[in-house]
Amino acid sequence: MGKVIEKIRLQNFSDPSRSVEVEAAVDTGATILALPMEVIEELGLQKFKDVQVRYADHRTATRPVYGVVTLEIQGRVGHFDALAEERGTEPLIGQTVLEELDLVVNPKSRSVAPNPDSPDLPTLEMLGFSLRHS
């Protein structure tokens, strides 16, 4: 599969007047949304924790997480935390964003689209346990 790039709209959840459109790489091997520090600053996001990150080349690092950012891609909108990366890095959309928004990656066309099984509204999986009503 070649590189998949999608245009996304980002907005500060707490201050909707702060928004930006960027192109982001879509990486099903990554976990969360990652943004370069200049985008986080432009949005005015607030740091709320640090996490340990393991990169594809097996490096590990402690990185800050900021939030909350509203992300729109392919007409679907969700609210996410963003891992801060160094200035000049490419924004990256990971698997948790794709799953929550019920988007699928088409490797042939190198594009992202709503899941054909739920084209109008995201469907979330609730597998592994049952809910009982008394």
Cis peptide before 68 (omega within 30 of 0): yes
Structure tokens at 33: 């949304």
121 occurs within a structural domain: no
pLDDT higher than 80, residue 51: yes
Q: Which of these, 116, 118, 122, lies nearest to 97 by C-alpha position?
A: 122
Model pLDDT, residue 128: 62
3-state secondary structure of 125: coil
Q: Of 111, 99, 104, 102, whose CA–CA distance to 24 is shortest? A: 111
Tell me if 71 is assigned to some domain: yes
Residue 43 CB coordination number (10 Å):
23
Instruction: State mean pLDDT over 15-42.
Output: 95
Q: What is the pLDDT of residues 1-28, one digit of tens each?
A: 568 999 999 999 999 999 999 999 999 8
Residue count of the chain: 134
Report the first-to-last Cα separation within the chain, whole angstroms. 48
- How many distinct structural domains can be found in the chain? 1
Percent of the chain with pLDDT over 90: 70
Is the pLDDT at 104 greater than 60? The verdict is yes
- CA 7 – CA 24 distance, rounded (Å): 6
Q: What is the CATH number of the domain that holds 11?
A: 2.40.70.10
- Full residue range of the structural domain in which residue 65 is found: 4-114
pLDDT of residue 130: 55
Does residue 50 fall inside a structural domain? Answer: yes
> Would you say residue 120 lies in a domain?
no
Q: Does 61 score more than 60 pLDDT?
A: yes
